A and B are shown apart, each in its own frame.
Chain A
Amino acid sequence: MRLTLKATAIGAALLAATGAGAQETVKLSDLSWNGARAIGHVLKAIITGPMGSEAEIVEGMNQQSVIYAGMDKGDGSIDVHTDMWMPNWQSAWDEYIEGNGTVDHNMPYKGTSNIYVPFYMADTVRSIEDLMKPEIAAMFDTDGDGLGEYWAGDVTWASTKRWQIKFKSYGLDSLWEPNIISADTFKAGLAAAYAASQPQLFYAWTPESIHAQFDLVKVEEPARFEGCEDVDLDAENWLEVSHFECVILDNDVYIAFSKSLWDRNPAVAKMLKNVQLTGDEVGIWILEIFENKRDPQEVAEEWIADNQDIVNAWING
């Protein structure tokens, strides 16, 4: 380990001296949700703009476990995960950041995860207690099996399991069942239900353009208390052994990148390490790109031009 570290250090020094190999194209993830995409575009614009290096958003690179494994390998197939939600991906954190030490990260911004209903359901469903009423669950039943449906997330997301655990811990699993489909399909379904004022219960997070598109109201959950969250997503019987009966703590959202970038493109690695976003900033990008439907690169370039001090601080930090 020590030897390899030394070797990489020498390699890095050599590369820095020649300046040739240090310009390797940085590969960014192409994740499906707004925040990850907006951050990806801004990072790409910083790398290709003021830094004068090369960056590419790898189209279709949206499977998170694949991205983490790729960053761990460090072969340049994928270098940056633009929006790592913690503690949802505790397993990846433990394996790659803590364990192998192959993945690096920056300072996080705050995101929130809650369960929502459209505003026209807000009087009916105020809190988790309301969800325990069978007549309310029946309103949300769309497939006629007597159980109400809620959208828990995409099949590959860690948060999907967390919501299933929470519904079980709240004692709702006899009345509700999760609908596990991709975010895009869910959004299409939500738009249709919203147009007809039909009930919908679903997981959503901030920052995300869904809140600008629809008028959504959060369902109140019990406050946090000692021992209210005990989750083991890796266990085979994760649903049975885990326990979670309070609101989700504000998420820390990181940019994760392969440590091999420190050798292959040290300037970009340094910038990524220094990046410090805020939820508001990300929210504004999301609004511009997804709600006002502006060109993502244009939005990113504009933000960089208006915030040169911040960007320079990241680059030169």
Chain B
Amino acid sequence: MSATAALSGAEPREVESRDVSVPVFADRNAGYYGSVFERLQKGELPFWHMNLAGLLIPWIWSAWRGVWLMFWVSLALDVVGLVCLMQNFKYGPLLEDAYLDPSANAILIERYTRWLSVYNNVGIATLVLGRLLIGLQANRWYFGQYSKWRIDGRTAHGVAARRVVIAVLILVLVAPITLYRATQQRIDERACFNQVRAIDGTKRLLSSYGVTEVSDLTSAMAERRDRLVTERATLEASASLTDDQRSRLSAIRREERQLRREIDAAEDFKAVTAKDRLDCLFIDDFPTLARVAPPEDVTYRRVPDEEAVAQGRSGATKVIRQVKDPVEGRTVNIFTYTAESIDIGINFLRAQYAGIFDALTNVLRQSLIRVEVAFMLTPWPVLVGLAMILAWAYCGTGTVVFVGSSLTFLAVFELWQIAMQTMALVVVATAICIFVGLPVGIWMAKNRIANWITEPILDVMQTIPSLSYLVPAVAFFGISQPPAVLATVVFAIPPMVKLTALGIRQVPQSTKEAALAFGASERQLLTKVELPMAVPSIMAGLNQTIMLALSMATISAFIGAEGLGAIVTAALGDAQAGKGLLAGIAIALVAMVIDRILKGIRSSLSRI
């Protein structure tokens, strides 16, 4: 081909000479794919064009050629179709059983027949239509892959036996077990539990009898039972019994009962087939696999230290450790093991650091009492008036009316004092959120490692259900308000931290550079530039924090925190809808009042 001919461009060329990339991409059968791709590009490929290999052996073809999308789609379609057909094995036997007594089981027969016909139709349709779809799409997907390969040479191309091996491995891993599962009824809830019990129990018995074969074990147990029965018979036959004999008799009865249970366990063990074990491993939950001895049952207690007190150190205490005897033969799964270990850990921490926890609880309580007194001793008209003045100063007339009527609602419904208890809790919790959240937020904005550490912790704090950390909170800080404050802080602090960090990060680089150019120190940069510019974002965070703290009021009531939430929980317990709703509305009103006033303050600040 001459250079001039190539430049003229208009004259038609043969397919083979035009594109050498197809043979490299397709490797085998390049001629076929070359013409197919050509026609596809021209839009001349008829819609019924079908790849036979794609129709008949889609998984192997697609793996061989590296079209993984098609591999997964075809595998999924085939497995879904086959799973539907497998229902025949699941319900077929049931249907046969039902036919044994057709008149009594009319409903069952009707139901199973309907299910089976639906499953069969769907199954066959999925298989046939699915394969047709794959056959039709195969070359189109392959062309898509080709186009991608032209741009990115690393895209899978050519043919490779290695990929077929991977595909077969996936098939072997997925298909048999899924299809087998589809043929099986759901296992009885207790079946696997009982199986584990029989296996564990028999293992224990084998070691205690010192034999290795189960048949030896059963004969040894049968022998022992015979001995017991004879002894009991002789004792029961005798007319008068001494006290010793009588207690021996009841001991025999107890032993017989125990033995009968053990024999049952061994029989159960013998009845466990390989299929049963397989079912429990793959059809039921996975964790029935592992059983371990439970953690040592330890309790820690802090008690007065008599010796030290005798030596003149009054009020001295020490931690003692008590170990309970383990319950014989108890094994637990990993979940229970870990849960019990955590319990023991909490108990240890509580006893070991009782002083610290008590001091912290006391600080919280004292601050709560102060705030509560401030709120509760101020007469309600004064507080309502102050709130309305605040609303008037920063917001519109509408807000003033809203604030006034909401707070009057609280007073009229005699919820004022209770609402103020809630307010005290929210105020203390919010104060802690600000004092902790603001510095952490600044640190997060300035330091990438801090960001990397805090981010996931904040996510966990936001998503973990609050009920799950209420119990540890009680364990460390007792019942009532103090643990409720801490639980509220955990729940409400993330927006404070995150929005502070966001606000500081959003300060434009040019502004900071300007400040630095004028010789601002790091501290000045933070206090004179970054923080003032981040105020709207921080205020938004504060607003969120207060709303979240209020919504925790109900949850906190579960651990004895007083306030509006306690009314809601009590109403739930007594199924009193009205009471619960009124208290709920009160919480919402308090939240909205705070929200409106804060919004007003925020917008007046950002106007500066």
* Contact surface of A with B, Cβ cutoff 8 Å: 63, 65-66, 120, 142-145, 154-156, 179-182, 185-186, 188-189, 191-197, 292-295, 297-298, 302, 305-306
Contacts and interface: CB of A to CB of B under 8 A. Distances in A.
Interface in B478-526: 478-481
Given A179-B479, A185-B479, A294-B327, A197 B317 contact: yes
Contact of A143 (B317, B354, B365, B573): B365
A188 B300 CA distance: 15
A191 B558 contact: no
Given A181-B560, A191-B475, 6 more contacts: A142-B479, A155-B569, A181-B558, A192-B474, A196-B350, A293-B327
A100 B211 CA distance: 64
Contacts of B559: 181, 185
A195 B300 contact: yes
Contacts of B358: 196
Interface stretch (B301-309, B423-431, B593-601): B301-309
B575 A192 contact: no
A142 B480 contact: yes
Contact of A195 (B197, B354, B481, B575): B354
24 contacts: A65-B575, A142-B480, A143-B480, A143-B481, A144-B366, A145-B369, A156-B573, A156-B574, A181-B559, A185-B559, A189-B474, A189-B478, A191-B347, A191-B475, A195-B300, A195-B301, A195-B350, A195-B351, A196-B302, A196-B351, A196-B358, A197-B303, A292-B330, A293-B327
A65 B573 CA distance: 9
Contacts of A186: 479
Contacts of B300: 195
A65 B559 CA distance: 22
Interface in B531-590: 558-560, 569-570, 573-575
B98 to A, nearest CB: 16
A284 to B, nearest CB: 14
B301 A194 contact: yes
Nearest to A156: B573
Nearest to B348: A195
Interface in B189-203: 190, 193, 197
A185 B558 contact: yes
B361 to A, nearest CB: 8
Interface string B153-174: 0000000000000000000000
B142 interface: no
Closest 6 pairs (CB-CB, A-B)? A196-B354, A189-B479, A181-B560, A156-B573, A188-B474, A195-B351
Interface residues of B, number: 42
B317 A65 contact: no
Contact of A63 (B474, B479, B573): B573
Contacts of A63: 573-575
Contacts of B560: 179-181, 185, 189
Given A185-B560, A293-B330, A294-B327, A197 B302 contact: yes
B123 to A, nearest CB: 33
A193 B483 CA distance: 14
Contact of B257 (A195, A197, A306): A306
A120 to B, nearest CB: 7
Contact of A197 (B260, B304, B365, B366): B304
A154 B573 CA distance: 9
A192 B472 CA distance: 10
Contacts of A302: 261
A19 B153 CA distance: 75
A228 B445 CA distance: 69
Nearest to A69: B575
A309 to B, nearest CB: 12
Contacts of B347: 191, 195
B30 interface: no
Given A63-B575, A66-B575, A188-B475, A295 B558 contact: no
Contacts of A191: 347, 475
Interface in B336-371: 347, 350-351, 354, 357-358, 365-366, 369
Interface in B460-487: 470-471, 474-476, 478-481
A292 B327 contact: yes
B139 interface: no
Nearest to A192: B475
A287 to B, nearest CB: 10
A196 B302 CA distance: 5
A185 to B, nearest CB: 5
A129 B505 CA distance: 65
Nearest to A302: B261
A158 to B, nearest CB: 12
A305 B262 CA distance: 13
B299 interface: yes
B558 A182 contact: yes
Contacts of A192: 350, 474-476, 478
Contacts of A197: 301-304, 317
Given A185-B558, A196-B358, A298 B479 contact: no
Contact of A155 (B190, B357, B570): B570
Contacts of B197: 298
A181 B190 contact: no
Nearest to A157: B573
Nearest to B353: A196
Contacts of A179: 479-480, 560
A180 B480 CA distance: 10
Nearest to B483: A189
A66 B574 CA distance: 8
B261 A305 contact: yes
A13 to B, nearest CB: 20
Contacts of A180: 560
B260 to A, nearest CB: 8
B317 A155 contact: no
Given A188-B475, A298-B197, A302-B261, A195 B480 contact: no
Contacts of A196: 301-302, 350-351, 354, 357-358
Contacts of B354: 195-196
Q: Which of A188, A194, A297, A305 neighbours the largest number of chain B CB atoms within 10 Å of its CB?
A: A188
Which of B294, B300, B302 has the most C-beta atoms of chain A within 10 angstroms of its own C-beta? B302
Contacts of B302: 195-197
B566 to A, nearest CB: 8
A293 B331 CA distance: 10
Contacts of A298: 197
B574 A65 contact: yes
Contacts of B474: 185, 188-189, 192
Contacts of B366: 144
B573 A188 contact: no
Nearest to B474: A188
Nearest to A307: B257
